[in-house]
Amino acid sequence: MTTSNWNALGPLGVQALKNMDRSRQARGTMLDRAGYGPQETPHTVLHEEPGLKLRRYGDTGTQAVLIVPAPIKRSYIWDLAPEVSVVRRWLERGWRVYLAEWVPVDGKDCDGDGFGFDTYGDRLLSACRRAMAADGADEPPVIAGHSLGGILAAIHSALYPEALRATVLLEAPLHFEPASCCFNPLVRAVSDAKAIADAFGQVPGVFLNMMSAMAEPQAFQWERMTDRWLSMLDPDRQALANYMRVERWTHDEFPLPGRLFTDIVERLYRNDELTRGRLQVSGRTIGPADLRAPLASVADPRSKVIPLDAVLPFHEAAGSADKLLLHYRGDVGVNLQHVGVLVGRNAHATLWPAIFGWLDGIDDGAGDGHGPAQGALAIAK
């Protein structure tokens, strides 16, 4: 797959993929009508600008968290249904909850700074923190991100370590070894990610889905089929309902700005610039040593999509004095195990209480480098 192949894709090929995007969204709407849409927590929009809506849930509490979803699909995977809503778990603990809802951007909006790491990892998340402070969240917030959202959260935390109380990274790919990265064959086959971005303008979600399925069919196809059959065996049918809600979410993607796609492929997957300490964002060069806020990382030791080798080197090299590493070992009824940390019943029963307990320990001084949080390995089964 060479640059010339992508240039030969042509307007008709690009339009065909964009039409497939619309078809997937239509199937998602059908799942909504069947009763499998998200059951979101009421919220208000605190701040809005191209590419971003800052949601606020609740208005009490002195502690605040900023949730950073992956900028590919809709953010409600963090708030899918009351029993598996990460947003509600934070609210139940008395936190102010803010969520950076990424929204599609027009081509004209991308013409300025290009909507790459500088925009998502710095400018927009900084705008969120300013709006939060104006809203009364005076104390430094926790920042929490999943998957590609975890990359953006890690970048922001490395840029502004003193402005954050702690960083929580959930299955975030931050280190890229050819031997362990399932996307490496595709990255090697693409001589220039910018050629793909230029062909599309904005890279359709269906294209990203196709590339993921090609790279790791077990995770994105066979495991999903297996989980559906297991969900059907659940006697109270909750697992199947949860599976179908995630299925609806998988059809709710939007295009990725070409600049962000290029940054991810070239600067991370191909050159591993962040873990190597060479990533330039907003005129600064950052690496794991710059992330000095307390750090909790969650990894699935079974995963081939985000293997331990994609998480551990960055976690160990981070400049944080207080670190927690949690293992997530899966759920039934999550459709994609990669999002199980957000929507799995086991995750909500064991993983999230462990994260909250660690955050409480930071407040109590237990995580000051002398308690079990320092370099700890905790396993949530």
pLDDT digits (tens, 9 = 90+) for 282-325: 999 999 999 999 999 999 999 988 999 999 999 999 999 999 99
Q: What's at 131, amino acid-wise?
A: A
pLDDT surpassing 60 at residue 341: yes
Q: What is the pLDDT of residues 101-149, one digit of tens each?
A: 999 987 666 554 579 999 999 999 999 999 999 999 989 999 999 999 9
Q: What is the pLDDT of residues 166-223, one digit of tens each?
A: 999 999 999 988 776 767 766 776 677 888 888 777 887 777 777 776 766 666 777 8
pLDDT surpassing 90 at residue 159: yes
Q: Which two tokens stand for residue 49?
A: 């600008």
Percent of the chain with pLDDT strictly greater than 90 = 64
From 291, 263, 268, select the one nearest 175 (Cα to Cα).
Answer: 268
User: In this structure, is the dihedral angle defined by the CA atoms of residues 355, 145, 99 and 242, taken in order, positive or negative?
Assistant: negative
pLDDT for 109: 60
Residue owning tokens 């660690």: 358
**Pairing, β 323-328 against β 295-299:** parallel
From 86, 80, 100, select the one nearest 141 (Cα to Cα).
Answer: 100
* Rounded-to-integer distance, Cα 174 and Cα 287, Å: 10
**Pairing, β 96-102 against β 52-57:** antiparallel
SS (HEC) of 200-216? HCEECHHHHHHHHHHHC
How far are the Cα atoms of 254, 255, 303 from residue 203, in angstroms, in the given order? 9, 5, 25
pLDDT surpassing 80 at residue 372: no
Tell me: domain 35-182+259-380, CATH 3.40.605.10, correct?
no
Using an 8 Å Cβ cutoff, are 191 and 308 in contact?
Answer: no
The burial class, CB within 10 Å (0-12 / 13-18 / 19+), for 39 is: middle
Bridge-partner residues for 47, per DSSP? 54
Task: Output the CA torsion 151→156→159→165 (10° steps).
Answer: -120
Q: Please compute the mean of the pLDDT values over residues 227-249 and round it to a whole number.
A: 93
∠ CA 148-266-71, nearest 5°, is: 25
Using an 8 Å Cβ cutoff, are 344 and 333 in contact?
Answer: yes
User: What angle do helix axes 238-250 and 10-31 make, rounded to 10 degrees?
Assistant: 150
* Beta carbons within 8 Å of 362's beta carbon, 6+ residues apart: 165, 166, 294, 322, 373
How far are the Cα atoms of 93, 131, 238, 260 from residue 197, in angstroms, in the given order? 42, 32, 40, 9
| pTM of the entire predicted model | 0.90
Phi, psi of 225 (to 5 degrees): -65, -45
Which band of pLDDT confidence, cut at 50, 70 and 90, is reported for residue 237? confident
Q: Which two tokens stand for residue 188?
A: 């090697």
